[in-house]
Structures are given as C-alpha cells and as structure tokens.
Amino acid sequence: MGEIVREPSINPPPPELPSGDLMFRVAGTADSTWFWKSGQISIDQFNTVLEHVGKRITDFPRALDFGCGCGRIELHLEDVAKNVELHAVDIDSLAINWAVEHIPWARFSQNQGLPPLDFPDEYFDLVFNHSVFTHLDERYQDAWLVELERVTKPGGLLILSVSGGYPFSLFEKNCIDSGHDPQPFREIFRSRGHLFIPDDGMQNSPFPDFYHTTFHAPWYIFERWASIFDIKAYIVRGDLNYQDLLLLQRKDKRVGALPPAADFGYKVTSAKDDVSRLKLSLSECEQGRELWRSVANSSKMQLDNVLNSRSWRVTAPLRGFMSMLRGEGVDTERNP
C-alpha cells in the first residue's frame, strides 16, 4: 500500500480561477494557490484510498462529485473526463453557474438541501465528496446517505469525508482558549458519536440555515453507516491531513433506510464500553477484516497522531481498534 498523503503532481494553473468569495466557500480561504493545489491533492488522496480495492478514479465509467462547490476538484479532471462521464452537484447556485461557464468537461447541476437528486436509480459507479457530512445534522445526513445509496450501482464505491477525532480535539482547544468549557460537547461526542453545533458563528454566512459544524466519532461510522454501506476503509486524517476519509461500497441489495436516530443514542459509562462496542461493530464487518488490517498498517502515521492524543476519552475507540487489529490486549485503565 502507498502512503496516504502523497506529494501531488501539480498541473500548471488554469487561465482563470473563481472569485475569492467562491474559493473561500469551498476551501475556507481565498488563497488561490492553495485552492488550486488542494484540488490536485484531493484527487491524489481519492486515488490512494481507492488503491485499497485496486481501483483509480479512471476505472469508473460514471462518477459524481457530491458537493462540488465551484469545481475545485473538477478543474483537474479534464483528462479523466475523456473516459469518465463526470457529474457534479452543489446547492450553491453562484458556484454552479461559475463551474458551468468555466469547466465544460463536467456536467454541473444544482441540488436542493434535501433529496432527491435528479438522477435515475443506480446511475453512478463512483460517488466522491469533500466536507459535506461535516456540516449536516442527523436528519439531513441520513436523508443524503439513503439518496447516495439510491443513485449508486450495487457494488459501486463512495468516498466521503467526516470530521473525526483530530478536528474535534482542535475544537476543544479553541473552546478552552476562548474561555469556554468543552465538556458538554465532549460528552455528546463520546456518548452519541454525532455532534452537531448549530450555534457555530455561521448564522450570517452565505451558507444555508441547515449548514453548520458536525463531528463524527469513528465508532458511530462503523456502527450506523455500516447499516447501509459496507465500509472498506477508514483513513484518519486522510483528507487534506485534517478530515477522516471513508471508502464505502453499495450493498448488492438496497437497504433504503438507517436506524432511526432517536433509537441510536447511547449512555457510555467507561472507556471499556467504547472498546467493547467498537469490537462488536468490527465483528459485523468480518469480510473486510484483512482489508482493515492493511489500512491500519498503511496509515500508521496518521493513526499514531490520534493514539497519542491527550484525551483518552475521545480516542479510546481508536485505541481499542488498533490494539485489536494488532493482536494486542486493550488497556482500558490507561490514563490520559
């Protein structure tokens, strides 16, 4: 397996990039150099995670970028689009209009905040995205997971990103530095696995009202998302060295729903409970065990960053996960 983050091969910049405002909405900065380079980095990282199943983006006849913004990734896919029917959607009409005018090799369209997408059932061989589920509450998240299942072919692959333990640790630090107590957020993150923060300062931004800040605990993904997709890989900080990157596969038979969010809450009382729950989740993904082992080995550097985190309570699930895969005992009494 190759390294998770590679030195990208940067193409010469295009003659025109989006406005600073459009770049900021996608990349969090109006820096045109970073906007351009990050698009190629994302493609390299998508190809790296696809290597775990022996694929590359060019191996899929029809692909969808779900949440494309103004085409940060599509700007680098002109050659790919010669052999791949490339579609891209986003809720931002200004971003879509710019992409339609400047990126003719992809087919752009605007979607609404909730499904459906304007595509037939089982239309795509590959779906990829960057930083959509990092901003959705559970109602929106579940609706879009079911919709992406609908438009993906049986056996098709999805590359999705989430904000996991590392972004959450930075959020905790920002809380402390600004004089706020992160403990209430920490308890929700650890006990429910999904933390949505509507009061995040984005209320007066150009983003829609439902679009805020979301963190996912890894065990939540392994349990809840695995009810609708087969999880092929989970790469800690595999997306721009910040978000976690998932490789999912559409099941042969469509599931069509996730467990109701209201029935999914947990009351976790110890780190040992976290480890036990994670073991149970992984045991239900038996067919992917060897792949999980190779993923853990190839992403050792990224996982070590989490395993050495100051917060045992936040990283306990991943500690248990790595110990189990390596055949080690789980030290549930270790202090931070």
Residues 143-178: tens digit of each pLDDT: 999 999 999 999 999 999 999 999 999 999 999 999
Cα 237 vs. chain centroid, distance in angstroms? 10
Omega of the bond prior to 116 within 30 degrees of 0, cis?
Answer: yes
pLDDT at 285 (0 to 100): 39
Residues 19-75: tens digit of each pLDDT: 999 999 999 899 999 999 999 999 999 999 999 999 999 999 999 999 999 999 999
pLDDT at 207 (0 to 100): 84
Tokens of 154: 């049986």
Count of beta carbons in the 10 Å neighbourhood of residue 245: 27
Tokens of 163: 């904000």
Tokens of 331: 């030290």
**What is the distance between the alpha carbons of residues 144 and 149, in angstroms, rounded to a whole number?**
8
What does the domain layout of the chain look like in residue ranges?
20-269
Contacts of 67 (CB under 8 A, 6+ apart): 89, 90, 129, 130, 131, 132
Omega of the bond prior to 12 within 30 degrees of 0, cis?
Answer: no
Which pLDDT band, with edges at 50, 70 and 90, does 199 fall under?
Answer: confident
Share of the chain above pLDDT 70, in %: 73
pLDDT at 289 exceeding the cut of 60: no
Tell me the CA distances in angstroms from 40 to 7, 53, 136, one per residue in order.
10, 21, 25
pTM score: 0.77
Q: 20-269: which CATH number, 3.30.70.1400, 3.40.50.150, 3.30.300.30, 1.10.3720.10?
A: 3.40.50.150
pLDDT at 180 exceeding the cut of 70: yes
Which pLDDT band, with edges at 50, 70 and 90, does 130 fall under?
Answer: very high
pLDDT at 139 (0 to 100): 95
Residues 218-269: tens digit of each pLDDT: 999 999 999 999 999 999 999 999 999 999 999 999 999 998 875 554 433 3
